[in-house]
Amino acid sequence: MLLSNRRQFLAGAGVLGVASVLSKGGAYAAAPKAQDFDFIFFTDTHIQPELDAANGCAMAFRKIRTEKADFAIQGGDHVFDSLGVPKERALSLFDLYYKTEQDLGMKTYHTIGNHDCIGIYTKSGVSPSDPLYGKRYYEDHLGKTFYSFDHKGVHFIVLDSIGITSDRHYEGRIDAQQLQWLALDLAALHPAHPVIVVSHIPIVSAIDSYVPRPAEPETHHGATVVNSSEVIQLFEGRNVLGVLQGHTHINEVVTWHGVPYITSGAVSGNWWHGTRLGAAEGYTVVSVRNGKLQTRYETYGFKSVEPQNT
Ligand SMILES: [Fe+2]
C-alpha cells in the first residue's frame, strides 16, 4: 500500500501519536516472513496446595519440557486464588507457583489472569492502599501486564484483559490506555507483519452459548472482554495469525474476519475436578508453519482426586 493511503488509513483510525511513528521511519519496512517454529501455550494452572494441584502442575511442566518448543506462554490464572483471600495465602500460592515452574526449564512469558489480582474482593481483608493490592504484586514480580516481543518474524502481543471495577470486582476489558498502546504498537508494523495476540479473558468466544444463563443478571461480565469490538477493529487489515485465550477452560476456535480466536483448555481442567465441558487437563502446542497457525491440545495424564467432570 502506498504511504499516502497508509496515512489516510491511520488518520481514519483516529489514533493519537501515529503520525510520529510514521515520521520516524517515513515509510514501512517490508514485512518479515515468519519462520517455522513451535511454542507452548499453557493456561489456567490455578496452583494451590489442595486437590493435588501442585503435583498436577509439575506433571504438566515435566511433559511440556519434553516438547520441541522455543518458549512457553502462560495464559493467566497462575494461582487459585488471590482475589478473595488474605494476602499471606495469596503470597504463599505465588511462591508455590514459582517453585513448581522451575520444572518447566523453558523461557516463559506471562499473562495476567483475574485470579492473579490480589485482594480485589472485600472479603480478602486487603486494603486498596496495600502495596500488594490488585495488579501491583504481579507487576513487581512477573512484569508488565501488557507488552509485546518478537520471535522469528512474528510479533507477539500479550494483553491485560482484567478490568478491575470500582466496586472491587472484575470484568473482561482492554482499557483505554492499553487500546491506545495497542494501536501504536500495531501501527509501527508493516500491515503484512505476522502477529499473534494473547489475552487471558477471551476477546471472542461463544462460551455463553455452551452454559446455562445465570439465574440473576450479572453485575459485571467476566466471561469475555466487554469492549471486544474496540480491540477487534484494530486487527482489521492486519496479518493476525491468531489470538490465544484462556479463562473458560475449554477448547474452542471461533474465526472472525479470518482471525482464529483460539481458546485453550486448562492445565487445571475443571479447576482440578476433572474435565471442563469435555476438556481434560492439558496445554496447547502452537506451531507456526508457512505463516499460519496450527494447534494441538495435549493432555498429560492427571487424575483428579475429586472428579466432578462436566
Ligand atoms: Fe481460570
pLDDT digits (tens, 9 = 90+) for 73-116: 999 999 999 999 999 999 999 999 999 999 899 999 999 999 99
- Sign of the Cα pseudo-torsion (231, 148, 43, 140, in order): negative
**Cβ–Cβ contacts within 10 Å for residue 247, how many?**
29
What value, to the nearest 5°, has the Cα angle with vertex 100 and ends 99 and 104? Answer: 115
Q: What separation in Å is there between the alpha carbon of 16 and the centre of ligand 1?
A: 34
Domains, the chain, in order of start with CATH, read 35-299 (3.60.21.10)
How many Å apart are CA 172 and CA 160, to the nearest integer?
9
Cα–Cα distance between 13 and 21 in angstroms, integer? 14
- Please give the pLDDT value at position 7: 38
Neighbours of ion ligand 1 (CB under 5 A): 44, 77
Cα 77 to Cα 157: distance, rounded to the nearest angstrom: 18
Can you list the residues of the chain whose pLDDT is less than 50? Answer: 1-26
248: CA distance to ligand 1 center in Å?
A: 6
CA of 15 to the centre of ligand 1 (A): 33
By the 10 Å C-beta count (0-12 exposed, 13-18 middle, 19+ buried), 177 is classed as exposed
Put simply, whether the predicted model's pTM sits higher than 0.85 gets the answer yes
**Could you tell me the distance, in angstroms and rounded to a whole number, from the CA of residue 220 to the centre of ligand 1?**
17
Instruction: Please write the tens of the pLDDT for every residue from 246-271.
Output: 999 999 999 999 999 999 999 999 99
Q: How far is residue 179's CA from residue 185's CA, in Å, rounded to a whole number?
A: 10
Query: Could you tell me the distance, in angstroms and rounded to a whole number, from the CA of residue 198 to the centre of ligand 1?
Result: 15
Distance 77 CA to ligand 1 centre (A): 5
| Residue 201 Cα to ligand 1 middle (Å) | 9
